[in-house]
Amino acid sequence: MFAFWLLVYLTVGLYQRFRTPIRKQLNQWFRRKQQHDQVKPDDVETLLLGNRQLSLFPIVSSIMASFLSAISLLGTTTEAYVYGIEFICMIVAYSIAFPLAAEIYMPVYYKLRLTSAYEYLQFRFGKSVRWIASLIFCFQMWFYMSLVLYAPSLAISQVSGLPLWSSIITTGVVATFYTTLGGIRAVVWTDVLQLFVLTFGLLLIVIMGVVKVGGPKVLWDIAWEGKRLQSFSFSFDPLRRHSVWALAFGGAGMMLGIFGANQTQIQRYLACKDMRTARRAILLNVPMNSLFMVIQLASGLVAYVYFVDCDPIGASLIKKADQLLPYLVMVLFDGIPVIRGLFLSIIFAASLSTLSSGVNSLATVILEDIVRPLFYYITGRDVKPKSRTLLATISSAIVGLSTVGLAFLFDIMSSNILPFAYGLFGAVGGPILAIFSLGILVPCVNQYGGIAALLSSLTVGIWLCLGAIVYPPPVPSLPLSTINCSTNVTNITQVVTGTRTFYSISYLYYTPVCLVVALVVGLVFSAATDTGLSAVDHMAVALFTASDNRFANVPLQCEEASPPHDWLEVGGITTKLMINKPFFEFSEQISYQLINSQGIQGMPDYPYHHFERFLEVRRRVRYPSNFSKTSFAQVHLAKLHRNLRIQCLPQRSSNSKTNL
């Protein structure tokens, strides 16, 4: 069964790569009318964003599948087994984070028609912030994907006898192969299949497990007696690992960092055919993720009831707690090889979904935020479209194969690298969310404030993460028994060592702490530099649009067919028109009326029809010395330009100006 699903995933990747010729051949065989296929497999827009034409169903499934890694599957089951079902409060976090991502963050990215989310940071704060954030993301995702590949492979190999190297290489190569060939379309549609395997397979295992332990009533009674169902803490102590408040509100910040400021998820929003589809896809993940959370916790309760008098962790039957679910399946369904094969498919489906999504998003960031800017800096021109497609393909292959190599490095290094990687992933997500939040919601933070906010919050996040590793906090578990094991081990409760320090702060609060640090530092540095919004070179009202009608999304310069060094002066605000800067371009559908220059003294006529197309726009705004530098500056700017009709002028001297 495991080999069958791997073959299916490879087939999907091959189909998406050769989609157009395959469909043409099928139409000829069945004598169907040829239809125009908008998908161009050799186009970088298709490879990275699916030509921005993906529909609701695959996007909903892909958003959920890419989040449900094998680490979360194994970890949530162990969480319920050791600590109870308090983790179910994360459903409240979903209900807070997903609507915020759908209503505040996603509209900004979608309206700007970005490819990489970090392009926004250059428009808002300049090149430095973009490059820093891009490198942080690359470092974060590279380590996380390697861990996603290594951890489940280790768990499976130690309970099933499958060699570790074979599972790592097989999973890594398959994910890299279909992602490199088919791009995001292959990733999304394999995510659909993988979500089906995950949901159906885990639900079947839970149902059969409940029957094996004696039915729902026996499960409930034993879990209640073991305090697994009433382990909810309402303490406000931030040093407590989990509480209702930490899971609900601290977890909301962590989820918002994943779904509001992470390229892996943002790339799915940008691939949607319209913004309404993207918004619905995000919101539908609230009930879907909540349902899957319940299923995962139920599997942990099944494990607890089955091992109620013989804890495999305490009896050293397994080496690590994350091996609990694989061990349960191997013991519970010892005589049913089909179920054991199904479970292998579940684990590897969870790994493949996260790994392929990460490979695609990392390749996008490397191409758009590192390779293209570097090439433009060296040569003064952009990478050709065909070369971009080739570079995207090569980047995907390199990222995937390097992830396999790093996964083997995890096996060589000390086991302490695992908690370090977990903590690092949570610590760097907060600063990235913080800089996007400042850019979208706090217009008065300037370029210098943005750089200071990003670096300071990153420093604090890593400091908390490293402190928790050097001074690990005590984490007491609920009672576990080995009284009926065949070994001589008879311990019933876990011995807790360690002292509570400042570094014992719950990892769920890392993101809120980083947000507060970034806000304070960003405001202080912006006030100290005293340049306000004028310090930002690439400025646009659209960069602050959090809802459709909050600001007027008015283009402030035209790039299409207008010559360089032209000027427009409107209401005291001078706008410089630029051309031939493809690296800075981003497409936007302009719905404003563009007029010709007829009737303006000293200006020749310029044909109107030249501007009856979508425009490539680059923003650069100068403010007079007496212009407001407060947070209301963008509101004033929006009102000033609300009814403005933009005009692109013919070539003149660089010092000429025209008043409209």
pLDDT score of 618: 32
Contact 304, 226 (CB under 8 A): yes
pLDDT score of 23: 59
* 40-54, 246-260, 634-648 — most confident range: 246-260
Domain ranges of the chain: 2-399, 552-641
Residues in CB range of 403: below 8 A, 6 or more apart: 142, 145, 146, 149, 172, 176, 355, 358, 359
C-beta contacts of 564-568 below 8 A and 24+ residues apart: 565/653, 565/654, 566/648, 566/649, 566/651, 566/652, 566/656, 567/656, 567/657, 567/658, 568/647, 568/649, 568/657, 568/658, 568/660
State yes or no: pLDDT of 555 exceeds 50: no
State yes or no: pLDDT of 466 exceeds 60: yes
Residue type, 160: S
Mean pLDDT of 324-338: 82
- Which of the pair, 454 or 162, is modelled with greater confidence? 454
Mean pLDDT of 264-274: 90
User: Binning pLDDT at 50, 70 and 90, where does residue 3 land?
Assistant: low
CA trace torsion 544, 509, 90, 267 (10° rounding): 40
Q: How far apart are CA 577 and CA 20, in angstroms?
A: 40
Q: How far apart are CA 1 and CA 548, in angstroms?
A: 48
pLDDT score of 460: 93
Would you give the DSSP letter of residue 227? T
Mean pLDDT of 341-369: 83
Q: How far apart are CA 510 and CA 392, in angstroms?
A: 33
User: Binning pLDDT at 50, 70 and 90, where does residue 581 land?
Assistant: very low
**pTM of structure:** 0.77
pLDDT score of 5: 64
DSSP assignment of 515-581 equals HHHHHHHHHHHHHHHT-GGGG-SS--GGGG--STTTS--------TTPPTTEEEEETTEEEEE--S-
State yes or no: pLDDT of 533 exceeds 70: no
pLDDT score of 1: 60
What share of the chain has pLDDT > 70, as a percent?
A: 68
Choice among 132-136, 176-180, 239-243 with the minimum mean pLDDT: 176-180
Would you give the DSSP letter of residue 6? H
State yes or no: pLDDT of 213 exceeds 80: yes
User: Binning pLDDT at 50, 70 and 90, where does residue 432 land?
Assistant: very high
Helix (H, G, I), strand (E, B) or coil at 254: helix
Residue type, 501: T
pLDDT score of 282: 95
For β-strands 573-577 and 566-570, DSSP reports them as antiparallel
Per-chain mean pLDDT for the chain:
72
Task: Please provide the size of the chain in residues.
Answer: 660
Helix (H, G, I), strand (E, B) or coil at 195: helix
State yes or no: pLDDT of 178 exceeds 90: no
- Which of the pair, 15 or 92, is modelled with greater confidence? 92
pLDDT score of 69: 76
Q: May I ask the CATH architecture of the domain 2-399?
A: Up-down Bundle (1.20)
**Rounded to an integer, what is the distance from CA 49 to the centroid of its chain?**
14
- Which of the pair, 155 or 380, is modelled with greater confidence? 380
Q: How far apart are CA 311 and CA 324, in angstroms?
A: 10
Buried b (16+ CB within 10 A) or exposed e, 140-152: bbbbbbbbbbbbb
Give the distance between the most distant pair of CA atoms in the chain.
99
Mean pLDDT of 505-524: 91
State yes or no: pLDDT of 90 exceeds 80: yes
What share of the chain has pLDDT > 90, as a percent?
A: 17
Residue 294 backbone dihedrals phi, psi, to 5 degrees: -65, -40
State yes or no: pLDDT of 91 exceeds 60: yes
pLDDT score of 443: 77
State yes or no: pLDDT of 100 exceeds 90: yes
Contact 522, 454 (CB under 8 A): no
State yes or no: pLDDT of 610 exceeds 80: no
State yes or no: pLDDT of 237 exceeds 80: yes
State yes or no: pLDDT of 89 exceeds 90: yes
- Which of the pair, 566 or 393, is modelled with greater confidence? 393
State yes or no: pLDDT of 315 exceeds 70: yes
Q: How far apart are CA 524 and CA 509, in angstroms?
A: 23
Of the candidates 183, 324, 306, 240, which has an alpha carbon nearest to the alpha carbon of residue 509? 240
Side-chain-side CA neighbours of residue 431 (13 Å) = 29
